[in-house]
Amino acid sequence: MENENHVNHGEVVNDIENEAPLDGNGNRRYWSEFPERNMSYTGPLLVKRTNTTSQIAIVGANLSPIESLDYEMFENEIFKQDWRSRGKIQIFQYVILKWGFAALIGLGTGLLGFFSNIAVENIAGFKLLLVSDLMYKQRYILAFVALAGCNICLAAAAASLCAFIAPAAAGSGIPEVKAYLNGIDAHSILAPSTLFVKVFGSILGVSAGFVVGKEGPMVHTGACIASLLGQGGSRKYHLTWNWLRYFKNDRDRRDMITCGAAAGVAAAFRAPVGGVLFALEEAASWWRSALLWRTFFTTAVVAIVLRAGIQYCATGKCGLFGEGGLIMYDVSTANVTYRGADILAVLLLGTLGGVLGSIYNYLVDKVVRTYSILNEKGPGFKILIVVTIAFLTSCCAYGLPWLATCIPCPDDPSVSCPTVYESGNYKNFHCPAGHYNDLASLFLNTNDDAIRNLFSTRTFKEFHISSLFIFFVTIYFLGVVTYGIAVPSGLFIPVILAGAAYGRLVGRLFESISKLDTGLYALLGAASFLGGTMRMTVSLCVILLELTNDLLLLPLVMLVLLISKSVADSFNKGVYDQILKIKGLPYMEAHAEPYMRNLVARDVVTGPLVTFSGIERVGNILHILRTTGHNGFPVIDEPPFSDAPELCGLVLRSHLLVLLKGKNFSKDKVLTNQNILQRLSALDFAKAGSGKGIKLEDLDIEEEEMDMYVDLHPISNASPYTVVETMSLAKAAILFRQLGLRHMCVVPKSQHRPPVVGILTRHDFMEEHVHELYPNLKPHRWTE
């Protein structure tokens, strides 16, 4: 076997470095270069890119190693014995747990979402009150110092959490969750420390007045909660429960994290149906009807938790947290009637929104790449950047309202105008009594309140055209430069803010020909921007409807989303896909690229293969585990156990380690199936949480045991998915992706050859890998 040895960990890296021309961007961390040549890396490595056409960089340092997840049913003897032994009680336990966990995920995400809302409203509200008070006393410079000081302190705190405790918590989190659900497990992404920093970092970051949202982070939070439950306690501290064993596999964890992502959106937008659709359309890579139902249940729990929380807070026990309601930006009071001219205006709105959205994505891409280089210089640098942006944001928020003219308050006696000691509408700023400053009403408010102001209906002339323009441009660029700094930062709110300002601006410009309310224009503007950046359709549509409680707008919202998405798609990819690419996560698309039709499976198999015999020498196994990083090995039966060499299955590194730890060795080459089946149970082979499980160093094999034999049959997956070497790469990729595989065996076409030609992993289907092997292959695009 040894003569067929594969490239090992060190060799891969050398290999790449030897080939690699400099790409002008210096050294870069690149994940997808070595995700799953079956190795579990102990840390990211500096490599140079071999392929200059696609630029790959990574955001943040200290990123954890990544591994593929395994969604295939691993059918070895031990698991099959376990399945057969499961009776009615076990099924009952499983079903109870499945739904119980879904409820817990909903409960946890709902509570955390509610908590962070209360915290933000109180912290930011206190800050804004302080500034209002100082402005009222005409101590203008002190007011600026207070604003900037608060913002910088909060920002620095958020950045420190991120930089020192959990770098993985920076950014939106949606791309990482999307990657996880695609089968990419980056260990620290869903760790408890990440959850902690995500929640508190997000509260601090949003309170600091950054143009960021807490929506993306909420999705990440939901996924983290689901992941923690899915780990199933700690065996180390004996904090586990026998019932949980059924969940110790990647399939059930994937389902739970899908529920978590949906719960996150549901909690962030108070949109339970929108949450389900978001999980379905954007987050998840695999889906089935049963999961739809469970996700729906989770978001229903979130809705109930939020409703209960709001009812509790309605009694005034939550400090500055306002009344709220299950619907955030209610526009249902507006009269929705539209004519031809309105439709034309809306078409224009959608088109422009698509263009602006794709430009936004382009700029975000550039900025994130720049930050990712700067961020690698160390935590201090990260914090410095965050503080700089916080200062810039404070300057804009405080400085720009001076440009606005004071507007007399509206006649409506039901609103208090201007508000001095309250957050919300009609900020006074430097204006005399009875007047308000419209720019300050947007800038010196929380983001939620600013959106509520922009969406407000029947307040046609509330904002000047010039103010809307200034606000739009500022938010657009602040949003771009803020994403990628080391704080948890959602993208939804910046996009909705900029889009709403843009929409309201267009509404004001078309006021002579269009009868649609400017509040509705703001909503449609937000839709067009969301469509232009995120490129979702149905889920955004439903989220917006649930946010604004107006079903009559549905046809217009659909129209705007379709147009803006179509326009933007002709320029570049959605913002989450871009970030996935920047992070170098080996994301597998659901379709095969056309160039793959010109290759066969054999063409991308690289390096020699390491296989084991059905009954293998312990020393051999240890040596191979030590010298290679592979996570999966074909097992070959040879005479006398079969007539000719034949593939009898596939073993995983993690299972081998458990088997070796169990020391079921025999002196001779004999089948010891029954013995092993009795001594080891499925629970021993349960998949450990990310980065956990038995390590090679934990083994304690004595010298005389090295020459003994161990029977690999009971732990071999006897039904690995295989492809013939001449199978078109496109079809192999679809098989791999659709079934959520981790390893796929390539078998020879003709007889009289070894029974396995190679193993394909996620890595082998990546465009970078294929282009490295075949630099001249032109990606010919034929839309499927």
Structure tokens at 35: 């995700």
- Shortest distance, position 646 Cβ to a copy of itself, whole Å: 5
SS (H, E, C) 274-286: HHHHHHHHHHCCC
Q: Nearer to a copy of itself by C-beta: 131 or 283?
A: 283
- Contact (Cβ atoms closer than 8 angstroms) between residue 574 and residue 535: yes
Which of 414, 427, 510 minimizes the C-alpha distance to 462?
427
Strand order in the sheet with 758-760: 722-724, 744-747, 758-760
Measured CA to CA, the distance from residue 179 to residue 254 in angstroms comes to 11
| Cβ-based nearer residue to a copy of itself, 135 or 276 | 276
DSSP three-state, residue 436: strand
Q: How far apart are CB 621 and a copy of itself at their closest, in Å?
A: 24
CA dist 34 and 44 (Å) reads: 9
Unique residue bearing structure tokens 């965050």? 386
Q: Which C-beta is closer to a copy of itself: that of 166 or that of 540?
A: 540
Nearer of residues 166 and 559 to a copy of itself, judged by Cβ: 559
Least distance from a copy of itself to the Cβ atom of residue 781, Å: 7
Contact 21, 742 (CB under 8 A): no
- Give 275 or 584: the residue with its C-beta nearer to a copy of itself: 275
- Shortest Å, Cβ 624 to a copy of itself: 24
In sequence order, what are the residues at sequence separation of 6 or more whose Cβ sits closer than 8 angstroms to the Cβ of residue 5?
608, 610, 624, 627, 628
- As measured in angstroms, the least distance from the Cβ of 704 to a copy of itself is 36
Taking the complex as a whole, how short is the minimal distance between the CB of residue 620 and a copy of itself, in angstroms?
24
Select 14 or 726, whichever has its Cβ closest to a copy of itself: 726
Comparing CB distances to a copy of itself, the nearer of 143 and 273 is: 273
CB of 254 to a copy of itself, least distance (A): 12
**Nearest approach, Cβ of 89 to a copy of itself (angstroms)?**
12
When the beta carbons of 76 and 227 are compared against a copy of itself, the nearer one is 76
Q: Which of 10, 12, 11 is nearest to 769 (CA)?
A: 12
Question: Minimum distance between the CB of residue 576 and a copy of itself, rounded to whole angstroms?
Answer: 12
**Residue 240 Ramachandran class (φ > 0 left, ψ -120 to 50 alpha, else beta):** beta
Contact partners, residue 763, CB within 8 Å, separation at least 6: 32, 34, 35, 36, 37, 586, 769
Looking at beta carbons only, is 161 or 545 nearer to a copy of itself? 545
Contact 465, 439 (CB under 8 A): no
Choice between 107 and 420, CB closer to a copy of itself: 107
CB 232 to a copy of itself: min, Å:
18
Tokens of 447: 């983001």
| Burial classification of residue 571, based on how many CB atoms lie within 10 Å of its CB (0-12 exposed, 13-18 middle, 19 or more buried) | middle
Tell me the closest approach of the beta carbon of residue 768 to a copy of itself, in angstroms.
Answer: 23
Whole-Å CA distances, 626 to 303, 630, 685: 50, 10, 20
In the sheet that holds 632-637, the strands lie side by side as 612-613, 632-637, 646-652
Residue 171 · residue 488 · CB < 8 Å = yes
Q: Decide whether 81 or 627 has the Cβ nearer to a copy of itself.
A: 81
- Which tokens in the block code for residue 140? 């203008």
